């Protein structure tokens, strides 16, 4: 059975993820098929815009399908994961730089690889069921698929909070954080898609858009900025532990659960990108340096085992929260010479 459906519908190219039972998790072949469609439509005069959506009620895309990557990595085959990531990141870059509008309809779980798929499109629609998150630090990895770019751009210190805690954003939060653009009630999506296919123009989005739901994260922005203001992992933990607010205590629980090496590396990645980066290729290159090394020098295999394979939720991280040497972080982020990501 196909995992992804690509076709032309009226004046639109149309890509639909068709793995609802797997929460539309992105496989390697899905990435390649989506890229092939984008390449074919880039200069096709019959295609005025692209629609990106997914089947099922539970998820637009809950992340990358990393089970095979884990199995290969256990056997010492790290090249499989490196090739997968390189191809996925190339697709992410093409989405961000595509010469025609891409309208992504994001519902349900939009996590990890799902953010990389929908989060870089020119027109990002969320509905009321949207739950957006970057949960990579919980599996011993770092926010990737260009997610570090979106996190760095988020207001104040919100990106650090999202990365270190995997906090889920509803539609209002996603728009506030810069992970989405407009809110359209999901009951109106099919009619909106029909208008887009019929006209090939994005003006229908303006007509369908409704006021975004309230954003709890926007309301808590000043508190988040203060809690994560130190910019380093030890300072963040101290600040969280020193606050009795509900937000801080929930965040502290997550920070103490996730990979210390991954979190420290993520904070350094965001610092290197700066507060308003505009170069997705630089973000992807930095992410790929970590991905290239993560199975051998990081906590990825242990994190995937604990969260997704054995599901004991009891990972044994390589380093304690208060003992991440800066040299370990620098080693993960060091240039790769001839192995640098080629886009």
State both tokens at 337: 């010479």
CA quadruple 94, 95, 99, 102: dihedral, nearest 10: 160
pLDDT at residue 1 greater than cutoff 70:
no
pLDDT at residue 19 greater than cutoff 70:
yes
Closest CA to 17 of 46, 58, 48, 49: 58
Q: Residue 299: what pLDDT? A: 97
Cα–Cα distance, 212 to 71 (Å, whole number): 42
Tens of pLDDT, residue by residue over 280-308, are 999 999 999 999 999 999 999 999 999 99
In CATH, what number is assigned to the domain containing residue 62?
Answer: 3.90.226.10
Cβ–Cβ < 8 Å for 4, 26: no
Query: What integer is the mean pLDDT of 70-93?
Result: 96
Which domain range does residue 186 map to? 4-339
State both tokens at 262: 């991954």
Catalytic site residues?
64, 113, 136, 144
Q: What is the number of domains present in the chain?
A: 1
**5 beta partners:** 16
Our CA angle for 210, 213, 214, nearest 5°, is: 140
* CA distance between the termini of the chain: 30
Q: Residue 94: what pLDDT? A: 98
Cα–Cα distance, 137 to 303 (Å, whole number): 9
């Amino acid at each position: 059975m196909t995992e992804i459906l690509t076709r032309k519908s009226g004046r639109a190219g149309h890509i639909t993820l068709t793995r609802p039972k797997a929460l539309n998790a992105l496989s390697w072949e899905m990435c390649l098929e989506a890229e092939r469609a984008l390449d074919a439509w880039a200069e096709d005069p019959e295609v005025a815009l692209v629609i990106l959506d997914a089947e099922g009620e539970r998820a637009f895309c809950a992340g990358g399908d990393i089970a095979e990557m884990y199995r290969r990595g256990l056997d010492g085959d790290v090249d499989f994961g490196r090739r997968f990531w390189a191809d996925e990141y190339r697709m992410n870059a093409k989405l961000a730089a595509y010469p025609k509008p891409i309208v992504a309809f994001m519902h349900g779980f939009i996590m990890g690889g799902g953010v990389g798929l929908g989060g870089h499109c020119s027109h990002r629609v969320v509905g009321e069921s949207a739950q957006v998150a970057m949960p990579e630090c919980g599996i011993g990895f770092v926010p990737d698929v260009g997610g570090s770019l979106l996190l760095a751009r988020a207001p104040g210190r919100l990106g650090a909070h999202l990365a270190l805690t995997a906090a889920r954003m509803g539609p209002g939060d996603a728009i506030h954080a810069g992970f989405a653009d407009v809110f359209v009630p999901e009951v109106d999506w099919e009619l909106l898609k029909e208008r887009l296919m019929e006209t090939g123009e994005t003006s229908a989005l303006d007509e369908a858009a409704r006021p975004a739901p309230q954003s709890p994260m926007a309301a808590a922005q000043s508190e988040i900025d203060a809690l994560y203001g130190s910019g380093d992992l030890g300072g963040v933990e101290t600040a969280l532990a020193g606050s009795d607010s509900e937000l801080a205590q929930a965040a502290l629980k997550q920070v103490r659960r996730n990979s210390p090496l991954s979190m420290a590396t993520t904070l350094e990645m965001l610092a290197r990108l700066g507060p308003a980066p505009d170069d997705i290729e630089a973000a992807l290159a930095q992410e790929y340096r970590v991905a290239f090394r993560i199975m051998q020098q990081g906590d990825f295999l242990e994190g995937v085992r604990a969260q997704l394979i054995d599901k004991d939720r009891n990972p044994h991280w390589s380093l304690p929260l208060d003992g991440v040497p800066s040299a370990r972080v620098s080693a993960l982020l060091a240039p790769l010479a001839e192995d640098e990501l080629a886009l």
